[in-house]
Amino acid sequence: MPKYNRKIVSKLPKVKTTIFTTMGHLAQKHNAINLSQGFPNFEPDPSLIDLVTQAMKQGYNQYAPMAGVMELREMIAAKIEQLYGRHYNPDSEITVTIGATQAIFTIITAFVGSGDEVIVIKPAYDCYEPAIEVNGGVPVFVQLNNTDFKIDWEVFRSKITPRTKMVIINTPHNPSGTIFSKEDMLELQKCLENTDIIVISDEVYEHIIFDGLEHESASKYDGLASRTFVCGSFGKTFHITGWKMGYCAGPVELMHEFRKTHQFNVFSADHAVQKALASYLKEPQHYLGLNQFYQEKRDLFLEGLSTSRFKIKPSKGTYFQLVDYNDITQEPDEVFAERLVTKHQIASIPISGFNTKGIDKHLLRFCFAKTNETLERATEILSKL
């Protein structure tokens, strides 16, 4: 082929390969136990797989409706109302998406333009900032304190300007495993009074909360629900991350704009999977039992590390656990994480890359959505460090 002197100007010049991909490749290369990426290493419920197979055999193999299969949207609406007391119209206020990440990207694309500011709570999952920047927006950071990961609401208020278009929150919080309290949600609601600021509430781990604590969905609060897209994930909930199935719920005037972009982005999500999920959601225990399921795994992981030199505050939600390795080494977290893979065959995620200006407090994130056997092998190695 002829060569051209083509100059490519990147819209994301600072974006590199994600740390998840990097650590995943290292884990594979060194045959390491992979506790880095947030996916289970066990299979989903066989009955859910059977439901998808049945749907395919019944002919649900072409495009689904753009907003999602109505039966599934109705089940999502019923679930939200049952748990959080908020009614969303399944016809006009709920859209099924290709994972929560697509929902988040589409929301940002639909509303954020050149120069618009978006407040991001750091450390933050790494899909938020590129979506803001590729749409010409400006991320504005509020850094959590990296001790108890509480938000300083005075700092938050100081970040709000006439250019603030949107705020992104995440509870239960990845990577810290903390949760927003009722007081936090009320403070956020108060901060945004008398503004037109839109909120994305990333609630993909809503059903993974421990020790009797409750999830404070933005949908529970009138002053937030009226301005918020609540994003959920069936992938996280039902151990089917590879199926890429999520949804968002929001007030009709916001959802109307969302769907303008959604229809020209992906148009619709997998038809057969939607039909299967609509049936599977009819049994609430399929998601209500998740807290206990993952708390047992968290506790197994913590018990395995009880004699280690790591300092640990038990995760309150998600299927991630942060560990402090200051008593083991003072190496930068990315260096220590790489050494754990290459020398000890354990893969984790260093946290500095999720912080403002790469703040490094010597914290690693481990995923405990793994079989008990995997967790026991991993903690046996980690306890010897």
- Of 4-18, 55-69, 365-379, the one with minimum mean pLDDT is 4-18
In a domain, 52, yes or no: no
Closest CA to 321 of 341, 339, 348: 348
Residue at which a domain ends, from 260, 284, 308: 284
| pLDDT tens track for 282-300 | 999 999 999 999 999 999 9
Asked whether residue 2 is domain-assigned, the answer is no
Query: Rounded to an integer, what distance in angstroms lies between the CA atom of residue 115 and that of residue 120?
Result: 15
Spatial CA neighbour of 344 closest among 328, 327, 357, 326? 328
The number of distinct structural domains making up the chain is: 2
Residue 59 banded pLDDT, cuts 50, 70, 90 = very high
List pLDDT tens digits, range 81-93. 999 999 999 999 9
Q: Quick one: pLDDT band at residue 2, thresholds 50, 70, 90? A: low
- Alpha-carbon distance of 191 to 370, in angstroms, equals 39
Domain stops at, among 267, 284, 301:
284
Write out the DSSP string of 86-145.
----TTTSEEEESHHHHHHHHHHHHH--TT-EEEEEES--TTHHHHHHHTT-EEEEEE--
Specify the residue for token string 């753009």: 66
Q: What does the pLDDT average to over 146-153?
A: 90
| Shared-domain flag, residues 162 and 195 | yes
**258 in the same domain as 303:** no
pLDDT-based confidence at residue 17 (cuts at 50, 70, 90): confident
Q: Is residue 311 located within the same domain as residue 184? A: no
Residue 3 placed within a domain: no
Distance CA 333, CA 348 (A): 10
Q: Residue 14 pLDDT > 90, yes or no? A: no
CB 19 within 8 A of CB 350: yes
CB 78 within 8 A of CB 102: no
Whether residue 279 is contained in a domain is answered as: yes
Looking at the fold, whether 237 and 307 belong to one and the same domain comes out as: no
In a domain, 50, yes or no: no
Q: Which tens digit of pLDDT belongs to each residue from 99-134?
A: 999 999 999 999 999 999 999 999 999 899 999 999
Domain that holds residue 111: 59-284
pTM over 0.85: yes
Report the share of the chain in percent with pLDDT over 90. Answer: 90
Q: What is the pLDDT of residues 258-268, one digit of tens each?
A: 999 999 999 99
Taking 90 as the threshold, does the pLDDT of residue 5 lie above it? no
Q: Residue 121 phi/psi, 5° resolution? A: -85, 120
Strand duo 117-122 + 138-143: pairing: parallel
Q: What is residue 146's predicted lDDT score, i.e. its pLDDT? A: 74
Instruction: Collect all residues with Cβ–Cβ distance below 8 Å to 134 and sequence separation of at least 6.
Output: 11, 12
Residues 268 and 316 in one domain: no
CATH number where 358 lies: 3.90.1150.10
pLDDT at 3: 66
Q: Is the pLDDT of residue 4 over 80?
A: no
- 351 and 295 fall within a common domain: yes
Range 76-84 average pLDDT: 98
Report yes or no on 4 lying in a domain: no
**Domain end: 284, 312, 338, which one?**
284
Instruction: Compute the average pLDDT of residues 232-242.
Output: 97
181 shares a domain with 90: yes
The CATH number for 217's domain is 3.40.640.10
Do both 124 and 256 map to the same domain? yes
298 and 228 co-located in one domain: no
What is the pLDDT at residue 15? 83
Neighbour order of strands in the sheet with 363-367 = 320-324, 363-367, 349-350
Question: DSSP string spanning 216-275?
Answer: --GGG-HHHHTTEEEEEEHHHHTT-GGG--EEEE--HHHHHHHHHHHHHHT----HHHHH
Question: What average pLDDT does range 340-349 have in this prediction?
Answer: 96
Domain assignment of residue 39, yes or no: yes
The residue-averaged pLDDT of 303-322 equals 97
Q: Is 316 found in the same domain as 263?
A: no
Contacts of 183 (CB under 8 A, 6+ apart): none
Measured CA distances, 334 to 34, 124, 337, 343, 347 (Å):
16, 17, 5, 14, 11
Residues sharing a CB contact under 8 Å with residue 21, sequence separation 6 or more, in sequence order: none
- Asked if residue 371 and residue 261 are part of one domain, the reply reads no
- pLDDT, tens digit, for every residue of 353-367? 899 989 999 999 999
Q: Is residue 307 part of a domain?
A: yes
Q: Provide the pLDDT confidence category of residue 1 given band limits of 50, 70 and 90.
A: low
Same domain, 271 and 311: no
Burial class, 9, CB count within 10 angstroms (exposed 0-12 / middle 13-18 / buried 19+): exposed
Average pLDDT over residues 308-313: 97
pLDDT bucket at 257, cuts 50 / 70 / 90: very high
The whole-chain average pLDDT of the chain stands at 96
